[in-house]
Amino acid sequence: MKRSIIALLSVLIGLVSSCALAENENTFSTEQGIAGVACIITDPAGRLVLVKDNVTGRYGLPGGRVNLAESPTRALAREVFEETAIRVTVGEVYHKDNRGVLFACQSQAPLPVVSKADGTGFLPVWRAPHFASEIDEAYLVPAVHADDYRYRFNGRGELLWSLAAKAPSSDVTALADFSALAPTFYVSQYGLVTGVQQAVAMMGDTASVLTKQIFRLVNTLGETAFYVALVPLFLIFRGHKSALSLLFLLISAAAVSTTLKTGFAMPRPFYLWPNLQIGEASGFTVPSGHTLLAAAVMTAWYLKRRVNDGPAYGSLVIALGVVTLMGLNRMYLGVHFASDVIIGALVGASVAWATVNMDAMTIAKGRPLLTTGRMWLLICSILALLALALKLPNLVYLAALAAGVYTGQVWHKLFPSHKPATSFKGKLLTLAWIFLGAGGMIVAAWCVTQLTGLSWIVLIIVSMSAWSLGPWVLIASPELAKWSGARLGWCNGDKDTW
């Protein structure tokens, strides 16, 4: 047991620290006196290139840390290309302070830009090597919209725009869309996406509004947060095994989706044709994560019903209907192609099949495999290795969540006499403590992350919050429920049968 705990702590410490360092490349030469570099890129209209950080959700200039073997200008050229796919010529220093050095830069080739009606320009940032791992978006932002963006460092916006006004501009190639950069396979599916959008638009007002409401409702069935909120309900009312099986399904679906998206690295429809965008989304497109998750949950539900109730044709029809509506919804929003949806559905069904089969496996003394601590330590280790290899924050959070579950499992093994509440009042009280504590942790983490624009701090705070959910739900909440139940006179506080 001690070795398992040491292994878990080693995985967590190595995971968070390595990802934090990799995120910021915090290996700069102090002899140079430069911690970081950033690039000011403007166009003839005075628009400034801003990138959105994947971890903090804030905007700033492209740039990063200076490695030991690099000069500041070489490091900056590398960082800008990794974050924006723009090759630049680094010019003179425009500003220097304790946060780093700002250089004026010019693109070596005209910037391909698709401009919106408000003047904001889209850049084909999905071609950047670090897209989706470090950067979510890149825009050419007009000065009139400078206040619409939240910058990584408070008080830096005014400085950036004052320097941008003096920087040499880069040439721009104005485009109607990025279809010239689209794979032929996606160009052929453009009509399918527009067809779904036009079909909804051509409905009568009542039918169109109803369809959009149905799509909005169905979209919830593809949100990981929705199902994670159901895990405590499964734990209290369906038992430990059902809750951990559902959580395993959710983590597996999210990890597979994230990994495949990075592997395929294909652009979303509205990246190529900005006029298609109706809904919000980020990252790559294959597979459709919402469709994958919906297919995984609905397929697992159908397979369970089939085991318990026979053929369950009605459940099959419902599952197929939900997945189909999810796919049409994602196409309508302009965030996925038809092929993304189909691949997502097939992968999701496969994840569900694997989960249902693993759920039926047992080890010594008939103990379900998915309720064992070693299984969750293995899950945590696999996710940690993937996170380190792909440098994806979402995988870090999933690994931390799995580590939290392992911590809870270890506690139950150390204290086998601990039992959850069996009375209805006790279950409700436990559930109340779960949501109260989990909600407090999430709000606290959110508040802390709003105070900083440093990615590594946010990465650590969110990871620790994800880890703490497991011990809180599996350890603290039942004990607090027992204590508060005794105070309310619902149990004597000494027995587990309350």
Q: What is the pLDDT of residue 324?
A: 98
Whole-Å CA distances, 490 to 2, 235, 479, 485: 37, 21, 14, 5
Whole-Å CA distances, 479 to 180, 287, 419: 61, 41, 9
Question: For 252, what's the count of Cα atoms within 13 Å in the CB-facing half-sphere?
Answer: 25
Q: What is the pLDDT of residue 224?
A: 95
CA separation for the pair 307, 330 (Å, rounded): 31
Q: Where are the domains of the chain?
A: 1-30+372-386+396-498, 34-175, 181-368
Q: What is the tens place of the pLDDT at every residue in 214-271? A: 999 999 999 999 999 999 999 999 998 999 999 999 999 999 999 999 999 999 999 9
Query: Do the domains spanning 34-175 and 181-368 agree at the CATH topology level?
Result: no
Q: What is the pLDDT of residue 20?
A: 46
Q: What is the tens place of the pLDDT at every residue in 385-427? A: 999 999 999 999 999 999 999 998 887 776 655 567 888 888 9
- Write down the architecture of domain 34-175 according to CATH: Alpha-Beta Complex (3.90)
Asked if residue 43 lies in contact with residue 111, where contact means CB atoms within 8 angstroms, the answer is yes
Q: What is the pLDDT of residue 98?
A: 80
Look up the CATH number of domain 181-368.
Answer: 1.20.144
Q: How many C-beta atoms surround the C-beta of residue 454 within 10 A?
A: 19
Q: What is the tens place of the pLDDT at every residue in 293-337? A: 999 999 999 999 998 888 889 999 999 999 999 999 999 999 999
Q: What is the pLDDT of residue 25?
A: 40
Whole-Å CA distances, 53 to 75, 446, 454: 18, 16, 10
Q: What is the pLDDT of residue 68?
A: 80
What's the start-to-end Cα distance of the chain, in Å? Answer: 30
- In this prediction, the residues of the chain whose per-residue pLDDT falls under 70 are 1-35, 414-419, 491-498
